[in-house]
Chain A
Amino acid sequence: MSGAKITSTTDSLEALLQGKAQELVAVLERGDLPDAMSLISELQAARHDAFYREVGRLTRGLHEAIKSFSSEIGVPEAQRGQLSAMTDASERLDYVIQLTERAAHDTLDRVDRTLALVDRFAGRQDLPEDTTPQLEQMRGELTEILVGQGFQDITGQLIRRVMQLLTQVESQLVDLMEMAAKVDRLNNVRVEEPRSVAAPADPARAEGPQVRPADGAAVARNQDDVDDLLSSLGF
């Protein structure tokens, strides 16, 4: 979807329009109305054609961008549906919700245990008097940590909204692609299959956290895996 391509299409359209316009002036001066009318409809057809071509190209470009996102993040070719990158993006977002949920519950577990310890401590008879306000403060801070875990709910709701949006965009994009293909067929446009531009994937390229850490031996699942691998390399 390069800007240069678009300019060249508009340039050629402009050249065509100029040519036809001059012709039109010439036929009108000759007083040849039927010829003038047919030139006007040719002009109109050229405009439509250019417009549909442009929409078609943009749509295919978008589709290609999504497909290459798919290959970049390592979705196997066989599983690569039309728009599987969209699905993959949703999956990643869903994973964020799962991760934050797990982390929040883990924090809540620890807060529960610590609060129980504070209560046990507060129940002792031999405490110096000045510890009571400190224990109260501890209880207060722990309660705020507890309430603070509500971030998981807020962020989760926001992420779900984005996932809904992705699903909508995906289905509308499919419609748009079908429409563009139909217009291409009607206009007899032959779409050359874009050459694969994907460079061989660099296995060490940064990808961020693994979404499906359980998948295959290519991914270390925990620090033990990392240590094992390093020690096998002589570290």
Chain B
Amino acid sequence: MRKDIRILVVDDFSTMRRIIKNLLRDLGFTNVLEADDGKTALPILKQGSVDFLVTDWNMPGMTGIDLLKEVRKDPQLAAIPVLMVTAEAKREQIITAAQAGVNGYVVKPFTAAVLKEKIDKIFERLEG
């Protein structure tokens, strides 16, 4: 797995962005951008240099699920793998995210091991 890929982390809580960023750094990914909701994330994505998107669901402005749908709708962005990291844990929500084309789903609170495992899985599938 290339470690120089560019990752965008979207969460309205700065604490959570920082936690995810640090865990990614532990995994060797240091090229990480941040946004605090879907609205600020979209223009960054449209600049075209993001290889992997990690997003929360419940955010003001534009939610993570809407962001995911926007990404899948846009031919330029549709192929970007998306990992959802969220406290939303209802079955229906998880199904909705899956149907919208999410690549992985991590429920908060999570452990470092779980986040790493899900990220590894996403890249394994993409490469395999």
- B is a partner of A: yes
> Contact: A150 with B109, CB < 8 Å?
yes
Task: Please give, as numbers and ranges, the residues of chain A lying within 8 Å of B115 by CB-CB distance.
Answer: 147
- Asked if A146 meets B15 with Cβ closer than 8 Å, knowing A153-B108, A154-B87, A157-B58, the reply is no
Total number of residue pairs linking A and B with CB closer than 8 Å: 54
**Is residue A137 contacting chain B, with contact meaning CB distance below 8 A?**
no
Least Cβ distance of A222 to chain B in Å? 24
Q: Give the residue among A104, A148, A150, A151 with the most B Cβ atoms within 10 A.
A: A150
**Is residue B5 contacting chain A, with contact meaning CB distance below 8 A?**
no
Interface residues of B in 1-43 (CB under 8 A from A): 11, 13-16, 18-19, 22-23, 26
Which A residues are closer than 8 A to B by beta carbons? Answer: 101, 104-105, 108, 111-112, 143-144, 146-154, 156-157
Task: Please give, as numbers and ranges, the residues of chain B lying within 8 Å of A104 by CB-CB distance.
Answer: 15
> Contact: A108 with B22, CB < 8 Å?
yes
Categorize the interface residue count of chain B.
10 to 19
> Contact: B19 with A108, CB < 8 Å?
yes
- Asked if A146 meets B23 with Cβ closer than 8 Å, knowing A153-B87, A154-B87, A157-B87, the reply is yes
Task: Please give, as numbers and ranges, the residues of chain A lying within 8 Å of B58 by CB-CB distance.
Answer: 157
Q: List 13 A-B contacts (CB under 8 A).
A: A101-B13, A101-B14, A105-B15, A108-B22, A143-B23, A143-B26, A147-B23, A147-B112, A149-B15, A150-B109, A152-B13, A153-B13, A153-B108
Closest Cβ neighbor of A97 among chain B residues: B13
Task: Please give, as numbers and ranges, the residues of chain B lying within 8 Å of A147 by CB-CB distance.
Answer: 19, 23, 109-112, 115
Task: Please give, as numbers and ranges, the residues of chain B lying within 8 Å of A143 by CB-CB distance.
Answer: 23, 26, 112
Interface residues of B in 71-128 (CB under 8 A from A): 87, 108-112, 115
> Contact: B22 with A153, CB < 8 Å?
no
Known: A146-B22, A150-B15, A154-B87. 8 other contacts (CB 8 A): A101-B15, A108-B18, A144-B111, A147-B19, A150-B109, A152-B15, A154-B108, A156-B13
Closest Cβ neighbor of A104 among chain B residues: B15
Task: Please give, as numbers and ranges, the residues of chain B lying within 8 Å of A148 by CB-CB distance.
Answer: 109
Q: Which 6 A-B pairs have the closest CB atoms?
A: A153-B13, A153-B16, A104-B15, A152-B15, A143-B112, A150-B109
Q: What's the Cα separation between A144 and B109 when bound, in Å?
A: 11
Q: What's the Cα separation between A105 and B19 when bound, in Å?
A: 10
Least Cβ distance of A112 to chain B in Å? 7
> Contact: A153 with B23, CB < 8 Å?
no
Task: Please give, as numbers and ranges, the residues of chain A lying within 8 Å of B112 by CB-CB distance.
Answer: 143-144, 146-147
Q: What's the Cα separation between A156 and B18 when bound, in Å?
A: 16
- Asked if A105 meets B18 with Cβ closer than 8 Å, knowing A143-B23, A156-B13, the reply is yes
Closest Cβ neighbor of B114 among chain A residues: A147
Q: What's the Cα separation between A149 and B26 when bound, in Å?
A: 17
Task: Please give, as numbers and ranges, the residues of chain A lying within 8 Å of B16 by CB-CB distance.
Answer: 150, 152-153
Least Cβ distance of B37 to chain A in Å? 13
> Contact: A149 with B19, CB < 8 Å?
yes
Q: What's the Cα separation between A101 and B14 when bound, in Å?
A: 8
Least Cβ distance of A108 to chain B in Å? 6
Closest Cβ neighbor of A102 among chain B residues: B15
Closest Cβ neighbor of A152 among chain B residues: B15
Task: Please give, as numbers and ranges, the residues of chain A lying within 8 Å of B87 by CB-CB distance.
Answer: 153-154, 157
Task: Please give, as numbers and ranges, the residues of chain A lying within 8 Å of B108 by CB-CB distance.
Answer: 150, 153-154
Least Cβ distance of A137 to chain B in Å? 14
Q: What's the Cα separation between A156 and B15 when bound, in Å?
A: 11
